[in-house]
Amino acid sequence: MIFELLLLLVTAVSRSSQLSLSDCGVHLRRPEITDISVQCGTSSISLAIQICPAIYTGYNESLLILNHILDSPCRGYLDETADPPVARFNFPLNTTHACGSVFRTTSAPGTGIFSDFSNIQTVNISGVVRSSDPTTGTITYNAELKYYYSCAYPLEYLINNTQVDVSASSISLKDNNGSFISTLGLDLFTDATYTQSLQMPTLGIELRTDVYVEVKATNLTGQYHVMLDRCYASISPLPSNSSFFNLFVPCSRDQMTTIIENGDSQSARFFFPAFRFIEQQNQTISTYYLHCITRLCEISTCSIFKQCSNRRKRSYDDATANLTELHTLTSPQIITKAEAVQSKEEPLAGAEEGDTAVGLGVAVGILAIACAVALCAAVVLYKKLRT
């Protein structure tokens, strides 16, 4: 085993670049804690380690080993185009092959906009790049180098269809924060196959028209599914500034909302009939926005969050109180027609009045004729009696 390890190290050294002490120039110095840069991506993690301090200590990029893994996809490579030069590592966010990284999921009560949720999860991916001393014998003059990295990803987001700006990664020896929110998007469709995008007409859609909603993750590591915790509509893009209506919340949904898929894949789907807000009844159209609080759950734990016993069912009247412009992302407007319809009973009532007047005239005429005939008969009978 030791022989195989030495053989791999020798091979790696032979393949590495020949960057020497003189090539480092002003960058040649002792190692410092800021020598590692960590980028927490949505599908992979990238590390960049300044190589000149490692060369100063007696190593090169081939002698920096990621989590004791010597496989080629996990090996670092020299990037001389960077200033200063760095050894780069890149590995996927996948529990089955993440170059030995440790995945640890923690749970804590929600705060802020998630204060109504008792179980907010965060996944932490961590590991270490160590130097491998090529010295043989009893002693060595080379210091051992260790570069720790850690990325923490929250698994709960407020999502809708506005552009999302994700901050760049920071440089740190131990900790960095990442975000999966850039992989999430909300789209509206007109059909149950989710192939025809809903193009909102200027005058809006008809009331009771089915609106199909999909929240989907793209370029997201395959170990997480998308699960909608709460979706609601509000008149204002900022829910805290207007009335809102819950389409569904944990363990409860509006009877007109149908959930097709939730927590079973990297897409969540539901649909609801178009409605209007009553406070907009005097307006030609009713306009509102859709918002969804979206959870990313590990495949093995999604079923747990579907159980009502593990989720808090509370009043959501104050759930949007802490939302600010920094947290709220407005969706496309949903516009429904709210035109007034003239009653069809009025012309019918007028027709009935006309018909009644005509009938009354006919009846009066017939009665007058009958009276005249009776009068004539009486006169004739009177004359006969006298004779």
| Pairing of β 120-131 and β 102-108 | antiparallel
* Residues 6+ positions from 63 with CB-CB distance below 8 Å: 9, 12, 13, 54, 131, 132, 133, 134
Looking at per-residue confidence, does 234 or 2 come out higher? 234
* Fold adopted by 182-337: Immunoglobulin-like (2.60.40)
In the predicted model, what is the mean pLDDT of residues 88-112? 89
What tens digit of pLDDT does each residue of 298-330 get?
888 888 888 875 555 444 444 433 332 323 334
pLDDT at 318: 41
CB 76 within 8 A of CB 88: yes
pLDDT at 363: 66
Q: Does the predicted model carry a pTM greater than 0.85?
A: no
Q: Is the pLDDT of residue 91 over 90?
A: yes
Domain 2-154 class, CATH top level: mainly beta
Domains 2-154 and 182-337 share a fold: yes
User: Tell me, what's the pLDDT at 35?
Assistant: 94
pLDDT number for residue 6: 46
Q: Is the pLDDT of residue 165 over 50?
A: no
User: pLDDT exceeding 90 applies to what percent of the chain?
Assistant: 34
pLDDT band of residue 152 (cuts 50, 70, 90) is very high
CA 102 to chain centre: 26
Enumerate the domain spans of the chain: 2-154, 182-337
Predicted confidence (pLDDT) at residue 136 exceeds the cutoff of 60: yes
What CA–CA distance (Å, rounded) separates 95 from 152?
15
Q: Using pLDDT thresholds of 50, 70 and 90, give the confidence band for residue 354.
A: low
327: exposed, middle or buried (Cβ count in 10 Å: 0-12, 13-18, 19+): middle
The mean predicted confidence, pLDDT, of the chain is 78
**Could you give the CA distance from residue 103 to residue 224 in angstroms, rounded to a whole number?**
13
Least confident range of 86-90, 153-157, 180-184, 357-361: 357-361
Q: Is 360 helix (H, G, I), strand (E, B) or coil?
A: helix
Ranges 74-88, 234-248, 366-380: which has the least confidence: 366-380
Closest CA to 66 of 97, 96, 40, 42: 97
Looking at the DSSP bridge assignments, the partners of residue 184 are: 217
CA 56 to chain centre: 47
